[in-house]
Structure 1
C-alpha cells in the first residue's frame, strides 16, 4: 500500500472541503453544501477498483469526495459550485447535481440507488460488461424506493455494488433513533451479500472493498458494503454539530484515517504534500473565480 499516494488523495479532498466551508462563510458561494470531512478514504479506495470504461458509479448529495476521487479535477468542481461555465455540467448542477464520465449524482436522499439499479438492469439485459457502484448514506436506507430497488436487484441478480457510507447520523438524528433493526438483517433478508466494515483504517477498509468488487464481478449478483465511518463536519454548511457530545467528537477525531496515514509517512514529506495541495486548491479557486459566469442565452 502506497501510504504517500493515499494521503495525498485524501488530503486533496480534505483541503478542498475546508476551502468550500471558508468560501461559504465569506459569502462567496450560494446555496448549500454537504462536506465529507472524515470520510475521504472511502471514495478513494472505491475509485481505485473501478473499470473506467465499463463500470458506472452513482453518488450522493455528499459527493465532492467522490467526484475528486474519480477525476482529481478541483478546478472544474470549484467552477461548478460557483455557477461558472467551466464546471462539469457548465455550472448548472452546483454542489449536488454532477455528471462526469461514467459518474453521475443528484441531491435526492438515496435517489441514485434507483438509477443505479436501472443501469445495472440495462447491463444485465444487454449482456454488457462492467458493474454499477452506488454510494449512499445510512439515512437513505429507510426510503421506500431504496428498499424496492434492493428487492429488484436481488430478484434479478443485478451486478450492483452498494457502498453505504454509514456515519451514524441522518442529518442530526442518530441511526438507532430512526432506523429499526439492522442493515445486515434487511439486506440478508433480501438474499443480498452483506459485508460490514467497522473500521476505516486503510488496511482493513481496502480489503473489504476489494472483496465486494470481486463478489459482484465474479458472481454477477448484488453486494452491500456497510462502511462504518465518522463525519467530522456538519451535515451541511449550517450544521454546528451541537447534537454530538465533545467526547464523541474527540473519539471521531482520533479515528481520522488521514491522521493514521500521516503517521506512516515521513513528517517532511507530509509537510511538502500539504503545501503542494494547498497551492493547488488556491489556484483552482482563483481560476474558478475568474471563469465566466453561466448565462441563460
Structure 2
C-alpha cells in the first residue's frame, strides 16, 4: 500500500487541493442536515436547537407544495426533452461543416451565450419582449396584432424558460460531443464511403454509436436536474403575474428559508430533493449499464 502510494505520490499531490475543497464545501457542511429535524432560529446554535422530529416535513401535507412540485416537474421535463438532444444535433451538424473557418465561427458564436449571466439574459429578454417599445411587440403591432405581455404571461413563461435555456447552453454543451466525435477513427468513415454509405448512414452507424458512451454519461449527470430546474434562471424571470406557473422548489426554498426564516422546512425540502436526486442517479446508472454497458460506476 505504501509502495503504491509512493509510486503515485505526484498524482495524489495534484488531486489533493480538489479533495480538500470537496471536504470543506461538500462533506463537512452535511452536518447542517440536522437542521431539517431541529427548531433552528437565527442567533442560536445548530447544536443547541431543540429536536422536533419530522415536524419540518409538514409541508408534504400542503396543497401549495404539490403545486410547486408540479411546476418544477413540468419545467424540468420540458427542458430535458428539448435541451438534452439539442447539443447532440448541433454537434452532428457542426461536425459536417467542411469549411474550417466557418466551422470555428459557428462554434464560437454558439459558445458565447454561455458566458452571459442569467441576469443579463433576462434583461435581453425583457428588452425584446417588453410592452413599451419591445422589438417583438412592435412587429406584432405592425402586423395588426395586439401586444403581448410576455414576461407576465402564464402561457408564455415556460416556452421562454425553455427557449432561453437552449439559446444560452446548447452551444456550450456541444463541446463534449464534438470531442467524442474527434476520437472516432477516421478509417471507419473511409470504409463506409467505400461501401457507398451516405452522410446520414455514417451518422447513424458510426458517429452516434461512437459518442454513445458520452451521451450515456451526460444523461446520468442530467437526471438530478429534474428536481433542480435552476433558480438562477427562474428567479429573475418570476414576478407576481406569472408566479402561479413560475414558482418551483428552488424559489420556494429561497423564500421559505431566507425571506421568511423557516430554515428547518427549507433544509427539509433540500434534503428530500437530494435523496430523490440520488435515487434517480443510481437508477439511471443501472439502466444505462444494462442497456449499453456504460455508466459512471
With structure 2 as the length reference, what TM-score do the two structures score? Answer: 0.27
Structure number with the higher helix fraction is: 2
Structure number with the higher strand fraction is: 1
Larger Rg: 2
